[in-house]
Chain A
Amino acid sequence: AQKVTQAQTEISVVEKEDVTLDCVYETRDTTYYLFWYKQPPSGELVFLIRRNSFDEQNEISGRYSWNFQKSTSSFNFTITASQVVDSAVYFCALSVRETSYDKVIFGPGTSLSVIP
C-alpha cells in the first residue's frame, strides 16, 4: 500500500523566515513519482513540482527548493525568505507505476501561515 505522511499540520512563520515542510512516503514500488501541490485560500490546486524515483537531484526554483532522499523516503520542501503570498495548504503526493500512475495519493497537507 502507498501512503504519504506530512507530520506538520500547521506552521506559522514570520515573513522572510525560511521554512521547511516535511514529507515522508511509503511504497513498495520501485518506480514512482512525487509531487508538491499548493492550495491557496481560494481553493484551487496548483502544481509545484514532480520528481521521479530515479532522480535524486535536489531542485531549486526561485525561493523554492526540494530535497529528495530515497534512503529516508522523504521529499521535503523549503521556502526561502517566505512571503505572505506563500500562505496556503501544501500537499505532498505520490503516484506509482503499479497503478499506472493513475491514482495520485495525497498527504494530509501542511497549513502554512506567513505573518507579516
Chain B
Amino acid sequence: EPEVTQTPSHQVTQMGQEVILRCVPISNHLYFYWYRQILGQKVEFLVSFYNNEISEKSEIFDDQFSVERPDGSNFTLKIRSTKLEDSAMYFCASSDWTGDYSNQPQHFGDGTRLSIL
C-alpha cells in the first residue's frame, strides 16, 4: 500500500538554527499537510497546501515557518530560527479527491521527531 514517507525520523538541532523536514507524499495525491504533536499532547494542524500554495494555516504557523514543494515529489517544512518550544513530532499527511466530493481521509507519515537543544 502506498505510504507517506518522512525523513529524517529524528532531527536534533541547536536553538536558532534553521531546520528542514522532508516528506514524500503518496504519488497521486494533490493535497498536502503538516501537523505538530508536542510530547504527550494532541495532534495540531499547522498548514495545508494545494496547487502550489497554502490553502489554510493555523495560528501556530507564523513567519518562522514555510512550506514548499520544490519538485514533483517532495514537500518540505522549514523552520527558520528554531526555538526550544518547537521540539515536537511533526507529521506530514497527504490526501486525494475521493468520489464523494471530499479530500479525506488524510494519510499520515510516521513523523519526524524534532529536538531543539
Do the two chains belong together in a single complex? yes
A interface residue numbers (CB < 8 A to B): 33, 35, 37, 42-47, 50, 52, 91, 93, 95, 99-109
CB 8 Å contact bits of B11-52 with A (1 = contact, 0 = none): 000000000000000000001010100000111110010100
Q: Does B66 contact A (CB under 8 A)?
A: no
Q: Does B56 contact A (CB under 8 A)?
A: yes
Q: Does B77 contact A (CB under 8 A)?
A: no
| Given pairs A44-B109, A47-B106, A104-B106, 11 additional interface contacts (CB within 8 A) | A45-B111, A47-B105, A52-B100, A91-B42, A93-B43, A102-B45, A102-B55, A103-B45, A103-B48, A104-B104, A107-B42
In the bound complex, residues from chain A placing their C-beta under 8 Å from that of B107 are: 47
Contact residues of B: prevailing secondary structure = strand
In the bound complex, residues from chain B placing their C-beta under 8 Å from that of A52 are: 100, 102
CA distance A43 to B109 in the complex (A): 10
Given contacts A43-B113, A91-B42, contact A103 B58 (CB under 8 A): yes
Question: Could you tell me the distance in whole angstroms from the C-beta of B106 to the nearest C-beta in chain A?
Answer: 6
Given contacts A43-B89, A45-B111, contact A106 B42 (CB under 8 A): yes
In the bound complex, residues from chain A placing their C-beta under 8 Å from that of B75 are: none
Q: Between A and B, how many residue pairs show CB distances below 8 Å?
A: 66
Interchain CB contact under 8 A, A102 and B44: no
Q: List 29 A-B contacts (CB under 8 A).
A: A33-B102, A35-B104, A35-B105, A37-B108, A42-B110, A43-B110, A43-B111, A43-B113, A44-B109, A45-B91, A45-B108, A47-B105, A47-B106, A47-B107, A91-B43, A95-B104, A99-B56, A102-B31, A102-B33, A102-B45, A102-B56, A102-B103, A104-B35, A104-B45, A104-B93, A104-B106, A106-B43, A108-B41, A109-B42
Question: Could you tell me the distance in whole angstroms from the C-beta of B54 to the nearest C-beta in chain A?
Answer: 10
In the bound complex, residues from chain B placing their C-beta under 8 Å from that of A100 are: 55-56, 103
Question: Could you tell me the distance in whole angstroms from the C-beta of B96 to the nearest C-beta in chain A?
Answer: 12
Question: Could you tell me the distance in whole angstroms from the C-beta of A49 to the nearest C-beta in chain B?
Answer: 9
CA distance A52 to B112 in the complex (A): 30
Interchain CB contact under 8 A, B106 and A44: no
CA distance A43 to B112 in the complex (A): 10
